[in-house]
Amino acid sequence: MDNRQPISSGPTPSAQPNGQPGQPLTAAFTQPITSPQGADMSQPMQPVQPAQPMPEVQQNPVTGVPMIMQAAAAIPEPKKDYKPLIKTIAIIALSLISVTFIGLFIWMFVQYDDARTNVDGQIAAAVTVAVDENTKKLENDFAVREKYPYQTFAGPEDYGGLTFEYPKTWSVYIAADASKGGDFEAYLNPVEVNVVSNETLDALRVKILNTAFDDVAARYQGELEGDEPKLRLEAVTIGQNGDINANRYTGIIPGTEFNGYIVIFKIRDKTAIIQTDSVLFEEDYNTLLSTIKFNA
């Protein structure tokens, strides 16, 4: 049994002046209730979604007009952009490479400048040496030419008439001419002869002694002996014809501190001594010995 009562319809009750209600409603709904838009009411009803909360309404404190406060929208987290970082890294890398190349260029330039300076210095030094050597050669050539023609030295006839050639730029001093017997002594030196002593140096000393050859040679024998001999002896041939046998001593001249040469040889019953006080005159000395002549 359907306990539902029909709902009557009629005019709505109105308030009476005396406050009594009006007539009851007599109309009733006679049509069945249908689902909206033909929905199948046999299916279970879907749960109703809860309504979204209404925005909070607040009153404007100045105008008094209600204001709807919107809820703050959720701001999405921005995506990270790595492009600036990559650009920064690239700029730093390029800067480091540039600095490296600049430093390498400066280092190579310094090395090149040092090498060029060194080469220039070597060239300048070589030029200086070449100029010095050429200057010395020209000076030597001039000095040699100045010596010609050679002068001829002549000793006393009674002592074998010893002769030899010497540079014309040398001066001659006859200390003892043996005109009254005794020993003959002469000294020769470029430009002028120094004061004769064991402390002064002359280019050539010439002596013809009234002493046998063996006795004169014995005077030098002591200088050849000992742990540190001052002289070295060798037998040589000298003279214009290369037929004069002589003893040649090389080393410290006895009684002096000079390093030079001494040659002794026989002239008849006498002994000739040709000596230079310095090895600096060796070339002129050897040339002079090759021109010696005397009367046997």
What is the domain range of residue 140? 84-147
Comparing 68-72, 184-188, 241-245, the range with the smallest average pLDDT is 68-72
Query: Domain boundary at 147, 177, 196, which?
Result: 147
Q: How far apart are CA 195 and CA 201, in angstroms?
A: 9
Whether residues 180 and 256 fall in one domain: yes
Q: Per-residue pLDDT tens for 218-247?
A: 999 999 998 899 999 999 999 999 999 999
Tell me what pLDDT residue 36 has: 52
CATH of the domain at 156: 3.40.1000
Whether residues 133 and 241 fall in one domain: no
Tell me what pLDDT residue 58 has: 63
Q: Per-residue pLDDT tens for 86-135?
A: 888 889 998 899 889 898 889 888 888 888 888 878 888 888 888 888 88
Residue 268 lies in a domain: yes
Tell me what pLDDT residue 182 has: 93
Residue 204 lies in a domain: yes
Number of separate domains in the chain: 2
The top-scoring range by mean pLDDT among 19-28, 64-73, 270-279 is 270-279
Tell me what pLDDT residue 45 has: 58
Whether residues 172 and 117 fall in one domain: no
Among the listed residues 171, 123, 126, the one whose alpha carbon sits nearest the alpha carbon of residue 147: 171
Give the pTM. Answer: 0.55
Whether residues 122 and 171 fall in one domain: no
Residue 212 lies in a domain: yes
Whether residues 204 and 219 fall in one domain: yes
